[in-house]
Amino acid sequence: MSTYSKEHIEYLKKQKREKRFVCFFRLLIIIVFLIAWELLSRLELINTFLSSSPWEVIETTIQLLKDNTLFLHIGVTLYEVIVSFIIATLIGFITATILWSNKVIAKIIDPYLTILNSLPKVALGPLIIIWVGASTNSIIFMALLISIFVTTITIYQGFANINKSYITLLKSLGATKKQIFIKAILPSNVPTLISALKINISMSLIGL
């Protein structure tokens, strides 16, 4: 005999139906998009030189597999993503921590972070190639330039917007700034840190 009530069983069924519904339409959107893309390219309604087509992508992938260069390109891209992701995360976290720990520095740096984050960084590509060179380093530098400011701002805002009563309580108990950071700031910002990692990985890919 089931230990669940009828209401709970019905709720679980509803959750399963909703999950299947969401998965179905996610898959349907992708299929419809690919079919429409292929049809538009075959009817020459879009310029395949600029947008390619699903079939051309498949043919190119097969050709790269035959040339044994597909996994080489994938490996290089993964290397660049991982390096830029790790560096941007570390610098963003350290910078956000410094800004949280020193309000004066935060007030000085905050407007510059906003300005730098709003710069059209992709347009700086030619300058980056001149500064760093046309190499893997310039690609990683571009990825860092795009992701690092967003990561820093996201983490710092999470640190700054914590419930003040937590900090007041810990201060009343004699906690140091380091203890407040470890016991209150970090645990309260786990969702923010995860969100920052998600943003960082997507920004790194855009930069690449």
200, 147 contact by CB (below 8 A): yes
Residue 203's alpha-carbon distances to 5, 6, 85, 115, 143, in angstroms, are 46, 46, 9, 17, 7
Q: For 133, left (φ over 0), alpha (ψ -120 to 50), or beta?
A: left
**Residue for token pair 């050709």:** 63
Whether 55 and 75 map to the same domain: the answer is: no
Whether 34 and 99 map to the same domain: the answer is: no
27 is in which domain, residue-wise? 1-67
Residue 17's alpha-carbon distances to 20, 42, 112, 202, in angstroms, are 5, 37, 48, 30
Which is more confidently placed, 32 or 74?
32
The pLDDT tens digits for 123-147 are 777 777 888 777 788 888 888 888 8
| pLDDT surpasses 50 at 114 | yes
Whether 6 and 72 map to the same domain: the answer is: no
Residue 75's CATH number: 1.10.3720.10
Query: Packing angle between helix 54-66 and helix 6-42, nearest 10 degrees?
Result: 90
Looking at the 3D structure of the chain, how many domains does it have?
Answer: 2
Whether 168 and 129 map to the same domain: the answer is: yes
Residue 112's alpha-carbon distances to 86, 106, 107, 189, in angstroms, are 23, 10, 10, 24
Task: Look at residue 2 in the predicted model and tell me its pLDDT.
Answer: 54
Task: Look at residue 48 in the predicted model and tell me its pLDDT.
Answer: 83
Q: How confident is the model at residue 1 (pLDDT cuts 50, 70, 90)?
A: very low
**Residue for token pair 């470890």:** 182
Q: Is the pTM of this model over 0.75?
A: no
φ, ψ (nearest 5 deg) of residue 156: -65, -40
